[in-house]
Every structure is written in C-alpha cells, then in structure tokens.
Amino acid sequence: MNILLIKQTSLGDVVHATAPIRSVRVAYPDALITVLTSTTASDILSNHPDINHLLTFDRYRVKSDWWRRPVWTLGHFVETFSAVRRPYFDLAIDLQGSWKTVIFLWAARATRRYVKGRWWFAEGFHQPMAHAIDEMGGVLELAGIKSCHSLPMLSVDPHVAETVSGMLPKLTSCERPIALLCPFTRWPTKNWPISKFALLAEQLAEEFQVIFTGSTRDRLQIDEVIAGHSPVSAVNLAGRLSLTEFFALAARSEVVVTGDSLPMHVASAFDRPLVSLFGPTNELLVGPRNDTAKILRAAVDCQRCYRRRRCPRACIDKITVDEVRMAVRSVLEQ
C-alpha cells in the first residue's frame, strides 16, 4: 500500500493528527506512508516512526509573500503538486479539509480519496461538533481503517533530550521537579492573565523549579513579571528553545499549566500531569483526554464565542489562582 495523508494547519492540530497517523500504521504495518504538512510543523513529524516520507508546503510564506514573490509562489505550488502527483497512491486522505489542502488531495493520483468535510471529488466525513481527533477518525473509518488511538503521540530525539538535560543545570542549581508554565497562546482571548501566572509561580516555587516558556515576542513580558514578583526563582526560556527542545522539556516536566495552545497538546502527547485553562474555545472539541489532565473553565456563562482578539466577557480571566493551584495538586495526586 502506498498512502498519502495531508495535515498542514496549526501546530497543535498537527500534534492531534499523530493519533490517526498511528491508526493508519496499525492498519497497514507494511505500507509506505507519505505525509504532507506545513513547513512550520515539519519538526513535529520529522522523526515520527509511522511516517516513511515527509513532504512540506510553506503555506505561511505563501500567505504573506504571494503578492511580493509571485514567481516563487507559483514555483512552490508546482513543486508541491509534482511531489504529490509523482507517485501513485492506493489511498489519499485529507485530515484537514480546507481549500488550502484539498487542492493537493485533488491533484494526487490516487485510487481512493477521502476528506474531512464535504468536497465533490472525494468521499467526506463532516461532524464539526466531534472532538478533533474523533472527526479525523471518522475520515479513517470511511477508508475502512479502524480509529484505534484517541490520544496524540510524540517522541523525543535522544540527542535533543541530552541537550536539554545539559542545559537545565546551568539555569538553576536546584534539584526540584519542573513546573512548566506556558502563559501565552496565539489568541489574546485565550490567555489567562500573566499576573495570575506570576502569583501561581510564587505558590509553586517552594515545591518546584518554575520554568516559563513562550515565543521570542513573549520573553520581555515574562521577564518583567518575574522581576516584579521577586524573589521567585523562575526561569524564563521564552524564545530560547527550538520546537524539539520544548518537546524534551515538556516530556520531563512534573506538571504543565497552559491555555488552549500547542503546549497543551504536547503535554497530552507525553501524558504529563496537565492543567488546561479554557476561555473562548470549546474543550469538548480540542481539549486533552488524558486521565492526568484537568480542564478548568470559569464558572460563568461562557458562550465559547471563538473571538480571537477581544471578548467582552473575558471569561478566562475569572479563573482564580487558587483554582489552578488546587487543580495542580489534583493532577499530581492522580
């Protein structure tokens, strides 16, 4: 069997896709599995044991530069089209189902095509109120593949794990377990206030080595909040870790506290004790399912509005520091 799988959207969604990828491998242990993903997500799947061949499409660069570099954009499309048309696939499955991905499903030379959503040229599965992993599993079922994994699965490169292990003693002299705090998401409305993360860090500092992570643009804000709550011995690694190094750090953390973002999915994939803070998004559709995870939502009438920039209710702000601290204690006891 020669199989093409397509999933190239946000990083957390690609982590989710590792569950159906494993289901495909279980169904066809000897198949040649090719996955087409976005360039930014390639590190998530580059060493995945269930994937034989990884193709990438630089969708974010195309989105930002198509009008400035039309020749490059056209060439990149042609190159990717050629890559999916060169082999002949027995089975092609689009686990994303947006117009940005179905063009490659349409272009692929395949005996059978399946897609998430409704598209005229392929058999589709559309159940938007199902959990993201279950909806992808529904697409697999159409193809006759049993969906046998409901949790994402990641692995850590041993060399990267060694690098992170060597890094940590230089940052802190204590031998306490790590509490990993990831305060920022891509949507401002999904962010629990950084001031509350600082208060939580104070409460955790006696028992844990507190480590903050985030992107480069988050670093200054985290530095300021740590400085304002001294003498909390927190370490700020925002912008200092590669994606794979973050995986290694998450895998060895004693507990992870985060909003609805990539770190939540990574912690779930490594089955780490996890506290997930939800506001405008629906935890039933994307939340972690591990027994070691606890989802927190403020006891208010939140509409799951999915507003990205501003929500007048600011539901996530109503979650208290005490509630999060109690949730941390609960997942650790589990």
Among 3.30.420.40, 3.90.1150.10, 3.40.50.2000, 3.10.20.740, name the CATH number for the domain at 2-142.
3.40.50.2000
* CB-CB neighbours of 270 under 10 Å: 21
Among residues 284, 30, 41, 39, the alpha carbon closest in space to that of 154 is found at: 41
Which residues, other chains included, contact 282 with Cβ-Cβ below 8 Å and sequence gap of 6+? 304
pLDDT in tens, 117-165: 999 999 999 999 999 999 999 999 999 999 999 999 999 999 999 999 9
Do 2-142 and 158-333 share a fold? yes
% of the chain beyond a pLDDT of 90: 83
Q: How many Å is the maximal CA-CA distance in the chain?
A: 63
Q: What is the pLDDT of residues 24-65, one digit of tens each?
A: 999 999 999 999 999 999 999 988 999 999 999 998 889 888
User: What was the pLDDT predicted at 174?
Assistant: 65
Mean pLDDT of all residues in 85-94: 97
Structural domain boundaries in the chain: 2-142, 158-333
**Per-residue pLDDT averaged across 204-232, rounded?**
88
pTM of the model: 0.94
- pLDDT tops 90 at residue 303: no
% of the chain residues with pLDDT over 70? 98
Is the Cβ–Cβ distance between 194 and 228 less than 8 Å? Answer: no
pLDDT band at 176 (very low <50, low <70, confident <90, very high): confident
Overall fold of domain 158-333: Rossmann fold (3.40.50)
Residue-averaged pLDDT of the chain: 94
